[in-house]
Amino acid sequence: MKRIRVHVVRRGHEYAIWAARGRWGGRTLTAEGFDPEVIPPLVDQVCDVMNQLGIEQAAFEGQSMGGWVAMQLALRYHEKVRALVLTTTMGYSPDEGAIPGYAEPDWASNLPSSLEVLRNPSFEAVRTRMARILANPARLTDEAIRVRQALYQQPALAAVQQQFIAEYLAGETILSHQAIQTYRHALRQTRPVIPVLRLSRLRFRLVGIIENTP
């Protein structure tokens, strides 16, 4: 968060920067209205925010599932997207052989431990889960752990998060919105090119789907 704040302050003089919290995440968690499709409602939410703010087009940065949402936003509403920054993006499946040495991670294997920490959110259990998803676990602070633990200790929030994480890591419904390499090539023949900066951790080797070449 410190790094994000630094960049927001630095770029805030040049750009209007908006950070929207998606449904079913953080303090917006609620079991009411949970949709296992997940991605389309979040894309619609971004469009609603843009409409409310009168923003016709913007550059987007998305991390993990946020990258998934940003990719689908670009695929469905390319006219709204000026550029993309995709960071360790989920929701992308390359064609076999498209990325040398790539092997799809077994995300479902993380599901049991992810559900267990929601049922029993001890400080150590939360620390272990957060360390697993960070590129540099040594930078994980006690404050960040306590914030996440406080969320998990709220029964209503933990209940919907269990639904969400089960679909996110091992669900079939959400996978229908996964972007694939072949789809990318088809789109490049019919839609304008969108510049993309792709950032990935070596352990995941995930990339974006829309490139900055025609």
pLDDT tens-digit readout, 74-90: 888 988 988 888 877 78
Q: What is the mean pLDDT of residues 18-39?
A: 69
- The 8 Å CB, 24+ separation contacts for 18-23 are 18/49, 18/53, 18/55, 18/58, 20/45, 20/46, 20/49, 22/65, 22/66, 22/69
- Show Cβ contacts of residue 109 under 8 Å, excluding neighbours closer than 6 positions: none
DSSP annotation of 64 reads: T
End-to-end CA distance of the chain: 35
Q: What is the C-alpha to C-alpha distance for residues 158 and 118, in angstroms, rounded to an integer?
A: 6
**153 vs 65 pLDDT, higher one:** 153
Give helix then strand counts, H and E, for the chain: 8, 5
Whether residue 149 is predicted with pLDDT greater than 80 in this model: the reply is yes
For the chain, domain boundaries = 29-199
Quick one: fold of 29-199? Answer: Rossmann fold (3.40.50)
- What confidence score (pLDDT) does residue 184 get? 56
Q: Rounded to the nearest 5°, which phi and psi values hold at 82? A: -85, -35
130: left (phi over 0), alpha (psi -120 to 50) or beta: alpha
The tens digit of pLDDT for each residue in 39-68 reads 898 899 999 999 999 999 998 888 888 888
Neighbours of 105 (CB within 10 A): 13
Pick the range with the lowest mean pLDDT from 83-87, 100-104, 173-177, 194-198. 194-198
**113 vs 185 pLDDT, higher one:** 113
Q: What is the C-alpha to C-alpha distance for residues 121 and 85, in angstroms, rounded to an integer?
A: 32
Q: What is the C-alpha to C-alpha distance for residues 86 and 66, in angstroms, rounded to an integer?
A: 8
